């Protein structure tokens, strides 16, 4: 009988842990109605794997962070930013992931969120950059538009109000408190993301999605003014 090499055990183990994590997150986020549902996570996971394919990164960390990044978002945890990393750590300890990986995944989840136009959010590691790009790509394009209005509806925001000007938030606190309308969110965040991508692959994918949002906004304002 062949001895089981250390590598094949590790491979098996990481594959099993990723599959179990996907099941756990799926059960927890299925049916969520504000755009942070399991399908969002699944898209981020796939995009992270795609972006990671051309980067020299620890894909175990990338996949775990992509899967767990929205497990307990501050937006739904009463503004508590430590809820996400805490929930992720609890799960990863339960499936016996090593401490170094847990710390890295939790750091990514802590740093990943957009915190306002004027706030620099730099990821500390390649793995973090990949997951942040994958998450941000899902805020762009047709899906990004759908998610923005889903989230706006969930919060009770207006679609648009020409009397309220977009604000480029200088601090995370201002951004968190913001009660703007959903069209303003495009100017406060979504249109800024293309130029803030960390990796060349994500920058390329972002181009088309960015252009699509600009077309959408042009059409929106044309219709807003009234039919010609």
Q: Which residues here bind ligand ADP, judged by CB under 6 A?
A: 35, 73, 113-114, 135, 139, 144, 147-148, 151-152, 157, 182, 185, 189-190
Q: Which two tokens stand for residue 167?
A: 């604000």
Binding site partner of 88, from ligand ADP, Ni ion, none, Cβ cut-off 5-8 A by kind? none
Taking Cα atoms as reference points, which of 105, 119, 116, 133 lies closest to residue 47?
133
Binding site partner of 144, from Ni ion, ligand ADP, none, Cβ cut-off 5-8 A by kind? ligand ADP
Binding site partner of 114, from Ni ion, ligand ADP, none, Cβ cut-off 5-8 A by kind? ligand ADP
Compute the least distance from the CB of residue 146 to ligand ADP, in Å: 8
Footprint of Ni ion on residues 36-75 (CB under 5 A)?
70
Compute the least distance from the CB of residue 112 to Ni ion, in Å: 8
The rounded distance, in Å, linking the Cα atoms of 73 and 210 is 25
Q: Which is nearer to Ni ion, 160 or 172 (CB)?
A: 172
Q: Which is nearer to ligand ADP, 17 or 189 (CB)?
A: 189
Binding site partner of 108, from ligand ADP, Ni ion, none, Cβ cut-off 5-8 A by kind? none
Binding site partner of 47, from ligand ADP, Ni ion, none, Cβ cut-off 5-8 A by kind? none
Contacts for 26-30 with beta carbons within 8 Å, 24 or more apart? 28/71, 29/70, 29/71
Q: Is the separation of the CB atoms in 77 and 92 below 8 Å?
A: no
**Pure H helices in the chain:** 6-29, 38-52, 59-68, 83-94, 99-111, 126-137, 141-155, 172-177, 182-188, 200-225
Compute the least distance from the CB of residue 210 to ligand ADP, in Å: 13
Interface with Ni ion includes 133 (CB under 5 A)?
no
Most distant CA pair in the chain: distance in Å? 78
The rounded distance, in Å, linking the Cα atoms of 47 and 138 is 9
Q: Is the separation of the CB atoms in 191 and 213 below 8 Å?
A: yes
Interface with Ni ion includes 32 (CB under 5 A)?
no
Interface with Ni ion includes 135 (CB under 5 A)?
yes
Q: Which residues contact Ni ion by CB under 5 A?
A: 70, 135
């Amino acid at each position: 009988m062949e001895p089981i090499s250390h590598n094949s055990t590790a491979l098996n183990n990481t594959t099993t842990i990723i599959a179990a994590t996907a099941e756990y997150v799926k059960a927890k986020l299925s049916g969520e109605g504000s755009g942070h549902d399991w399908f969002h996570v699944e898209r981020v996971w796939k995009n992270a794997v795609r972006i990671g394919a051309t980067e020299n990164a620890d894909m175990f960390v990338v996949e775990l962070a992509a899967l767990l990044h929205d497990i307990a978002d501050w937006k739904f945890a009463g503004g508590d930013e430590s809820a996400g990393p805490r929930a992720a750590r609890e799960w990863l300890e339960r499936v016996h992931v090593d401490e170094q990986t847990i710390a890295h995944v939790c750091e990514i989840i802590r740093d990943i969120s957009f915190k306002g136009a004027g706030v620099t959010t730099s990821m500390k590691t390649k793995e973090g950059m990949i997951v942040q790009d994958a998450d941000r790509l899902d805020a762009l394009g047709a899906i990004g538009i759908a998610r923005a209005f889903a989230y706006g509806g969930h919060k009770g925001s207006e679609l648009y109000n020409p009397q309220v000007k977009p604000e480029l938030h200088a601090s995370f606190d201002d951004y968190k408190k913001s009660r703007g309308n959903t069209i303003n969110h495009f100017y406060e965040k979504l249109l800024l993301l293309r130029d803030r991508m960390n990796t060349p692959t994500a920058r390329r994918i972002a181009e088309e999605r960015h252009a699509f949002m600009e077309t959408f906004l042009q059409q929106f304002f044309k219709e807003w003014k009234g039919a010609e």
